Structure 1
Amino acid sequence: MIMPVGAAYAAADGAAVKAGDAKKPGTEVALEEIVVTATKRAVSLQDTAMSISALTGKTLDNMGADNFVDYARSLPSVSFVDRGPSRKKIVIRGISSGVNAETQTTGVYFDEVPVGAASRNPDLKIFDIERIEVLRGPQGTLYGEGSMGGTIRIITNKPDLENFAADVQGTYSSTHKGGSNYALNGMVNIPIVNDKLAVRAVGYYRNFDGYVDNVTLGLNNVNKEETWGGRFAARLKASDSLMLTFNIIHQDSKYDAIGHYDPAIGDLKQNQKYLEYTNDKFTAYNLTLDLDLGWANLNSSTSYFDRQFANLRDLSPLLGGIPAYLENTEPDTSWVHETRLVSQNDGRFQWIAGVFYKDGKGTFNQLAEAAFFPGLSTDPLTLVEASIPTTTRQVALFGEASYDLTDKLKATVGLRWFDIKVEDSSYTSGLLVGPATTVNTSVAENGVTPKFLLSYQASKDFMLYTTAAKGFRQGGTTGQGNPPDPDTGEPSPTSYDSDSLWSYEVGAKSTLLDGRMTLNLAAFYVDWSNIQVTVLRSDGFSFTANAGKASSKGVEAEMTLRPMEGLDISLSGSYTNAQLEEDQPLPGDGKKGDNIPGVPDVNLAALARYSFALTDSVDAFVQGSVQHVGASRNGFATATGTGGVAAADAQPAYTMGNVRAGVMMGNYEIDLFVDNLWDERPVNLFNRFMGDVRIQTSRPRTFGVSVKTRF
């Protein structure tokens, strides 16, 4: 069955699909419906009055998507800043505080668990996924702070209470200027008591060779990755009205080094004195209760998230070549609970009401050491030692109400009240920061985020809507016990305030050609105040501060078309103009009219897939896709940066392509693929912030074969 990418319609995958049970290519013309739950209700994507993309599990499988980057470039108004493994900063509609931002503007969820973490979002491997929903625009009413630009929801497949299913996939590939890569996926779904109790288990393993050589250490392919993980879910239908679902997600990733290179040294070559490892291990637990009360649905979700993140950075260039490193370890845990009531009646009035609670604890540990100073010592010298434990508590009440003003016109009003308190105790010592110092800081805020929506269902196949919504990002503490800024002599601030924005959107959703085509359009304008930015000092220290105003405006389009039996085409594109509306008051920062760093002006994507029957028992497909990402900069165009280092290096536009072809024989499928077909070197981040040049790029051209079997 043919699946369009980023489409308004695709297959309803269910828990599992046997390859032998799939409909023959060319037997359907109309596109299939996607049902999403972005509004906390199950609604058809084309009937959801907001700008949203949904990628079903089958669509992701057809794309060969394994992680966030594999699908992100196909989404309108979505971009990312890549600072290495598990350090992707996700940007939607240009709402970005710069490439070094330490606070998030995009919410990220695994099922009901919020896991977003600004510039180091956890990257769940994409296997046995029900769908991914990408909500563009502020989602402050239903999803709270941190979703100023939008929200990404990764929704896993849940246990099927009635059908046994199993899925095994193995992939081998080889990377140009790199080595061999292996991936193995497995899933089994077992009904224990038919229509009452079932479990679903998922496991996966990745061993990817690197493609960057370290010329200083004389090591090849240093950026190797080894990841293993899995999920376990149990679902109990306690009665006709009560469903309980328990879910565990675990993933453990180890990267030997970051895959950046310096073009002055050579293609895909770096000269770090240390291997800059990254370790990222996380576990998410979730228990969800769904109760049908007749007049409303009660949903109660309790989650616990535990993440252990660590990485190392070579500081030698910052210290004039003296061997030195910076090691960060960041353990984080959070308890999250949400209970909501969703009305069931079919009348003109619909509503949602809920309560949210979060208790988060994290510690930022940092150790910087110089290997030795000749003539002074042969022992490592501590430059910085810091520990910053932080506690965040948040309570929120939220609700939305919709009323059908006429048979075609509907009005929706939403509101979220929140109360947040952040506390930390910062301990610092070392040669660069002076005597041991402890600084205790706390920040407390409360407020509301409203939303207003009008939608007009002109016909069953055409809808217009307009939205005005407020987005909010909490303030916090900087954890600063640093010495005065070497350039200004001023001490760093100990806290920063919240920032907020108002977003205005108009859109249209249409289904054409007897269900064979969908076309969705949206235009937006965002007014952003008191924006949080990251200030990088010339001595390497950084902190978050508030500065100035900004705006973002643009247009988005998504189209899917099935012009003939067996052929699916999808096109998407966006234009974004995000810029400062006034000079920023901080030294070295941008001026009015400067574009927001790290935000490409254009995103374009196209995919075509043709499926056909080779014989009565063998089906086949061929597929090609292209993604174009526009140009951006790593700093404000008028800024000179700190320490005399230019802060506005170009990140040029680039275009990448992938091809796939395969055959399906009963329960088996064999695919051949080439990713990054013309071996592009995209500049995902031009980084010279710590005294050296680093271009973070994508994996070079990779050939591979994938074998799948389903039962």
Structure 2
Amino acid sequence: MRRLEYLCLGASPLIFAVQPAMAQEMETQPAAVERAADDIVVTAQKREQSLQDVPISIAVVTGEALSDFHAKDMADIAASVPNLFVERLNAADVIYIRGFGSAPSNFAFDQSVSLYQDGIYAGRGKQFEAPFFDIERIEVLRGPQGALFGKNTPAGAISIVTANPTSQFEAGITGTYNFDLKGPEFTGYVSGPVTDNLGVRLAVKALDLGGYIPNRTTGKRDPRRNQTLARLTLQYENEGFDATAKLEYSRSRTKGAAIVLSTVTAPLEITKDRYADDYPFGFAESNNVTSKNASLTANYEIGDHVLTSITGYSTYDANRSNSYAKDVPAIYLNRIFEEFEQFSQEIRLASSAGKPLEYIVGTYFDWSDYALDYPRYYSGLPSGLTGSNVSIFDQSAQTLSFFAQATANLSPAFRVIGSARYTRTKKRGNFETITLSGMAFGAATTAKGRISEDNVDPSLTAQFDVTPDIMLYASYGRGSKSGGFVSNTVGTVDSTFIYRPERSTNYEVGVKAALLDRLLTLDLALYDLTFKNLQTSVYDPTLSPPGFVTKNAASATSRGIEWSVGLRPAQGLKLSWSGAYQNAKYDDFPGASCLASQPASICNPAAPVGAPNNPANNNLAGYKLAFSSKWSGSLQAQIKAPIADRYLLATTAQMNYRSKFFISDNQDPVYGIQPAYQKFDLRVQFGDLDERWNVALVGRNLTNERTYSFAFLWPGSLSYTPSGHRYLEETRTIAIEGNLRF
């Protein structure tokens, strides 16, 4: 526990340093990351609690904040939540917390940051491809959540809570037109009671948006998105019993990609246009996902206990076809076909709150099947190869776990919380590469494997209420992510097929305060998060064909501080600042692939076996983790001004920032760096005081910053124009919005 002692000592001067600021008349509740202690109720510990009472570094994004700035996916949320980053890629979006996440390059990876929607686990982003409509709130929990959330949360967890039926009839419709993306977006809902015991809510969303990157080959703008979503919720309540059923359907179609090209040597030059073939090898350049999800949550009172059952079913199918390079017609193409199905069941028993001993016990089970077909087409490559091959992968998995949490209220002001979860995971995987036509490109290999793992994730937290409005906590927790299989690298054999599970350990101290009659709210957390056997997947352009090398890094550590401050200088004015500093580095990574920033004298893929600079002797100890900024944060201001006692003018402005970070897994010093940036968003809204109607003008990324979330090398073996490929995030957009509420 020595690390925890060091963190406590380090936190002491910081806690005292904020005392002068407490004398200022300021408050909380930012627009995009809510922090008002008397407004926000969360379920991060499987009970309803005030946000300020939860001893976890947590950010909460409200449904109103999501809709205000037209959030379409998790990347839009990450922009305003410190130490949260989303690596956007056509294959899948990958979430990083405190610098840790699982790269999308191995499609079979479970995620180190897991999503939960209405209590249903989603280890794959495509399960809930576009869930951000009709949302009550999103809870972002930083650090391991192995005890209560459990499955694959060594870096953190994100809990999405969708809206439930209302006690009175309500309906609303929102229409938006985006001038830059040249397309509309509509959302609507109807909600209310059907009988005294049954409530219903139906929410729908549809959008048809154009792209923001001119494609000079096709004359169109990429990527062009079309989405249709619907969610039906039924809620039954009777004395001592309630049940909520949710059915969701999502259909997402994207044409074109957000990939632009760059030079690979200094000085860096990046194209603003695309030159990609619209139908490479006769297939439309597209990314399509259809998902279906169902959940049933039931609560039954047994004396002073509550028995909860959460049943979930999730399935999706996806296909993707992209022409990345500048060659027209295309000479190389990857296609990806995925099918996934999952069933889960959780049962837990919770004692009543407010007693000397509170506890939760439960069990969780899930099974899933995943299948991947990964065909490649090549014609007239620089090497002269022409033909096609396919990699086929399938995986079945089962998880069984038991968990418990106990809270000992040793006094009205001091409590100790202990948790633990035992998990048993079984997986079976098969891999095969087959040459379909023409000349072979890479070795045609097969691999089979089985995994059986047992793991225990404990946590311990001490929580002390200095006053009713100031809480201190110190915690220790462990998390884990199961091992798995390499799914899409040509040449995979039994000896390279399986990678080991990863483990994390987190030490954290924090303070949460609501002061000056809740006119000032402060959250502060210091953490030390270490991973062992970190799962990595690094692109190697020297392979034939180029592919990803998946392995376990020995260890890596992220240390830092996270904070959120809210204030209200005057009635109708809300200000906030949330931010983070982190230092995320490898502690030890022997046998790592060469980084582009390493000189050949240190690491050279062509060096003979036994040479000091052979990759087998490479160690990345001390190197930074990719996709991790030292500084990140968000500044926000909201002003609401009544006009003539009938109307309301509301203005919300925010600035999101990040310091520089690597966006390529090989940490290339030219094309693989994203410089520091700031993005400015603004919403100006006018409507009636009762908010029955309003119109708004919404601008995002007003200074038109060109930022990139991912980069990789497209080598000379696959193109006559070798280049760096960079995923360009959405540029400036301005939209007009209208809302009606009934």
Tell me how far apart the structure 1 counterparts of residues 343 and 79 of structure 2 sit (CA, whole Å): 32
The Cα offsets for residues 162-214 of structure 1, whole Å up to 9 and x where unpaired, read as 31110100001211xxx4121000100131102x0111101110111111122
The Cα offsets for residues 551-581 of structure 1, whole Å up to 9 and x where unpaired, read as 1100001011112100011110001111011
Tell me how far apart the structure 2 counterparts of residues 680 and 316 of structure 1 sit (CA, whole Å): 24
Tell me how far apart the structure 2 counterparts of residues 612 and 582 of structure 1 sit (CA, whole Å): 56
Tell me how far apart the structure 1 counterparts of residues 416 and 670 of structure 2 sit (CA, whole Å): 46
The Cα offsets for residues 625-682 of structure 1, whole Å up to 9 and x where unpaired, read as 1000111113578x77xxxxx7972111111001111111251111112111111101
Tell me how far apart the structure 1 counterparts of residues 675 and 134 of structure 2 sit (CA, whole Å): 35
Query: Following superposition of structure 1 onto structure 2, how do residues 148-159 of structure 1 map, counting pairs within 5 Å?
Result: 148-159=154-165
* Paired amino acid for 1:351: Y
* Paired amino acid for 1:93: R
* Paired amino acid for 2:406: A
* Partner secondary structure for residue 402 of structure 2: strand
Q: Tell me how far 1:61 sits from its aligned partner.
A: 3.1
Check 1:130–1:403 CA distance in 2 against 1; reply closer, same or farther (3 A cut): same
Q: Which residue of 2 aligns with 1:663?
A: 686
Q: Which residue of 2 aligns with 1:367?
A: 375
Q: Tell me how far 1:96 sits from its aligned partner.
A: 3.1
Report % sequence identity. 24
Check 1:159–1:470 CA distance in 2 against 1; reply closer, same or farther (3 A cut): same
Check 1:429–1:81 CA distance in 2 against 1; reply closer, same or farther (3 A cut): same
Q: 2:151 aligns with which of 141, 145, 149?
A: 145
Q: 2:184 aligns with which of 156, 170, 182?
A: 182
**TM-score for both structures, normalised by structure 2:** 0.85
Tell me how far apart the structure 2 counterparts of residues 233 and 555 of structure 1 sit (CA, whole Å): 39
Q: Which residue of 1 aligns with 2:113?
A: 106
Tell me how far apart the structure 2 counterparts of residues 314 and 582 of structure 1 sit (CA, whole Å): 37
Q: Which residue of 2 aligns with 1:554?
A: 560
Q: Which residue of 1 aligns with 2:413?
A: 408
The Cα offsets for residues 277-328 of structure 1, whole Å up to 9 and x where unpaired, read as 11111111001111111221111011000011221233767x9996121100
Query: Following superposition of structure 1 onto structure 2, how do residues 312-711 of structure 1 map, counting pairs within 5 Å?
Result: 312-314=321-323, 323-371=331-379, 381-382=387-388, 384-430=389-435, 431-432=439-440, 437-479=445-487, 482-483=490-491, 493-537=496-540, 538=542, 539-588=545-594, 591-635=620-664, 649-665=672-688, 666=690, 667-688=692-713, 691-711=722-742
- Alignment of 1:173 with 2:178, yes or no, is yes
Q: Which residue of 2 aligns with 1:268?
A: 272
Q: Which residue of 2 aligns with 1:643?
A: none
Tell me how far apart the structure 1 counterparts of residues 321 and 72 of structure 2 sit (CA, whole Å): 25
Tell me how far apart the structure 2 counterparts of residues 445 and 546 of structure 1 sit (CA, whole Å): 16
Tell me how far apart the structure 1 counterparts of residues 131 and 497 of structure 2 sit (CA, whole Å): 37
Check 1:146–1:647 CA distance in 2 against 1; reply closer, same or farther (3 A cut): farther
Check 1:244–1:434 CA distance in 2 against 1; reply closer, same or farther (3 A cut): same
Tell me how far apart the structure 1 counterparts of residues 57 and 454 of structure 2 sit (CA, whole Å): 28
Tell me how far apart the structure 2 counterparts of residues 83 and 629 of structure 1 sit (CA, whole Å): 19
Report if aligned partners of 1:234, 1:246 keep a CA contact under 8 Å in 2: yes
* Paired amino acid for 1:664: G
Q: 1:293 aligns with which of 297, 302, 305?
A: 302
- Alignment of 1:220 with 2:247, yes or no, is no
* Paired amino acid for 1:5: A
Structure 1 residue runs without a partner (length 5+): 11-30, 485-489, 641-645
Tell me how far apart the structure 2 counterparts of residues 440 and 104 of structure 1 sit (CA, whole Å): 22
* Partner secondary structure for residue 581 of structure 1: strand
Report if aligned partners of 1:8, 1:45 keep a CA contact under 8 Å in 2: no
Check 1:693–1:276 CA distance in 2 against 1; reply closer, same or farther (3 A cut): farther
* Paired amino acid for 2:741: R
* Paired amino acid for 1:501: S
Q: Tell me how far 1:609 sits from its aligned partner.
A: 0.6
Tell me how far apart the structure 2 counterparts of residues 648 and 253 of structure 1 sit (CA, whole Å): 30
Tell me how far apart the structure 1 counterparts of residues 441 and 270 of structure 2 sit (CA, whole Å): 36
Range moving further from structure 2, 585-594 or 625-634: 585-594
The Cα offsets for residues 216-271 of structure 1, whole Å up to 9 and x where unpaired, read as x232203100011110011112x301111110111111110111212568643122
Q: Tell me how far 1:395 sits from its aligned partner.
A: 0.3
Report if aligned partners of 1:426, 1:481 keep a CA contact under 8 Å in 2: no
* Partner secondary structure for residue 547 of structure 1: strand
Check 1:661–1:636 CA distance in 2 against 1; reply closer, same or farther (3 A cut): closer
Structure 2 residue runs without a partner (length 5+): 1-27, 264-268, 596-618, 716-721
Q: Which residue of 2 aligns with 1:15?
A: none
Q: Which residue of 1 aligns with 2:82?
A: 76
* Partner secondary structure for residue 269 of structure 1: coil
Report if aligned partners of 1:211, 1:220 keep a CA contact under 8 Å in 2: no
Tell me how far apart the structure 1 counterparts of residues 338 and 549 of structure 2 sit (CA, whole Å): 17
Tell me how far apart the structure 1 counterparts of residues 517 and 286 of structure 2 sit (CA, whole Å): 53
The Cα offsets for residues 604-628 of structure 1, whole Å up to 9 and x where unpaired, read as 2011010011112111111211000
Range moving further from structure 2, 549-558 or 275-284: 275-284
The Cα offsets for residues 313-354 of structure 1, whole Å up to 9 and x where unpaired, read as 33767x999612110011101001100111115211010111
Q: Tell me how far 1:585 sits from its aligned partner.
A: 1.5
Q: Which residue of 1 aligns with 2:136?
A: 130
Tell me how far apart the structure 2 counterparts of residues 75 and 532 of structure 1 sit (CA, whole Å): 24
Check 1:166–1:7 CA distance in 2 against 1; reply closer, same or farther (3 A cut): same
Check 1:447–1:32 CA distance in 2 against 1; reply closer, same or farther (3 A cut): closer
- Alignment of 1:50 with 2:49, yes or no, is no
Q: Which residue of 1 aligns with 2:123?
A: 116
Tell me how far apart the structure 2 counterparts of residues 8 and 699 of structure 1 sit (CA, whole Å): 24
* Paired amino acid for 1:233: T
Q: Which residue of 2 aligns with 1:37?
A: 43
**TM-score for both structures, normalised by structure 1:** 0.89
Tell me how far apart the structure 1 counterparts of residues 738 and 468 of structure 2 sit (CA, whole Å): 41
Check 1:81–1:434 CA distance in 2 against 1; reply closer, same or farther (3 A cut): closer
The Cα offsets for residues 338-396 of structure 1, whole Å up to 9 and x where unpaired, read as 0011111521101011100010001011111124689999xx821x2122111010100
* Paired amino acid for 2:228: W
Q: Which residue of 2 aligns with 1:16?
A: none
Q: Tell me how far 1:159 sits from its aligned partner.
A: 1.4
* Partner secondary structure for residue 76 of structure 2: helix
Report if aligned partners of 2:74, 2:86 keep a CA contact under 8 Å in 1: no
Q: Tell me how far 1:683 sits from its aligned partner.
A: 2.0
Q: Which residue of 1 aligns with 2:605?
A: none
Tell me how far apart the structure 2 counterparts of residues 354 and 125 of structure 1 sit (CA, whole Å): 27
Tell me how far apart the structure 1 counterparts of residues 329 and 440 of structure 2 sit (CA, whole Å): 17
Check 1:312–1:7 CA distance in 2 against 1; reply closer, same or farther (3 A cut): closer
Tell me how far apart the structure 2 counterparts of residues 58 and 698 of structure 1 sit (CA, whole Å): 23
Q: Which residue of 1 aligns with 2:719?
A: none
Report if aligned partners of 2:651, 2:683 keep a CA contact under 8 Å in 1: yes
Report if aligned partners of 1:518, 1:560 keep a CA contact under 8 Å in 2: yes
Report if aligned partners of 2:127, 2:316 keep a CA contact under 8 Å in 1: no
* Partner secondary structure for residue 735 of structure 2: strand
* Partner secondary structure for residue 221 of structure 1: strand
Q: Tell me how far 1:125 sits from its aligned partner.
A: 4.2
CA-based RMSD: 2.6
Q: Tell me how far 1:436 sits from its aligned partner.
A: 5.8
